[in-house]
Structure 1
Amino acid sequence: MFPVAPKPQDSSQPSDRLMTEKQQEEAEWESINVLLMMHGLKPLSLVKRTDLKDLIIFDKQSSQRMRQNLKLLVEETSCQQNMIQELIETNQQLRNELQLEQSRAANQEQRANDLE
């Protein structure tokens, strides 16, 4: 038997897969940009031109790591901000309770002095 030559559409599959990977990566970067902007940070720009003079290029693995790291940093920052807000609220509540207890203690002391 002779080997069968690949169909013309088979040769475009790697190109299609590459395009899909590129679109997936672009979608992930856009998702990161949304997170960055939600936290008041400037978005990153994706370059679609071939002029590479002013660019630094990362391989796919580095690009993926950067996306993961940025996402993790933004998520952790959000968690920390929530924790700080909860601490501020708890602190205010404790101050209010302390003030109330001090007021009660002052009233009790005044009543004790009045009874003497």
Structure 2
Amino acid sequence: MEHKSCRNTGHEKSPWQDDGSSLTVFYEFVSKNVSMPSDLGELIAYVLLLVITWYTLLFALRFLVSLVKPVLVVLVALFLFRFLRSFEFEDLIDLGFTILGLVANLVASIVAKFLEFVLRIFS
């Protein structure tokens, strides 16, 4: 029985040997042993990456809002109570009517601009 040595004598070239470039050997190994994704596979991978990233960001933002929201509610309540204590009842009524007037003017100007836009389209 003939015994083969483990050493390569140079007569035959194994598929793992190359001219010394490890990147080429790695590329050949990957191209022969790992299936390459198709365009549809890449699209699915990118969509999954987008969805995972989106839900991670949403979860992080919801977590931050859940931490900050109670503090904001307490601060708004403190400012509101201090605001209500510093004014007389008549001053609050005047302030309410002033705010309502400003909101009505804003709505009227928005409606006027929209109607001007519609008239320009039809003329």
Normalising by structure 1, we get a TM-score of: 0.37
Q: Which has the higher contact order (CA 8 A, sep 6+)?
A: 1
Higher alpha-carbon Rg: 2
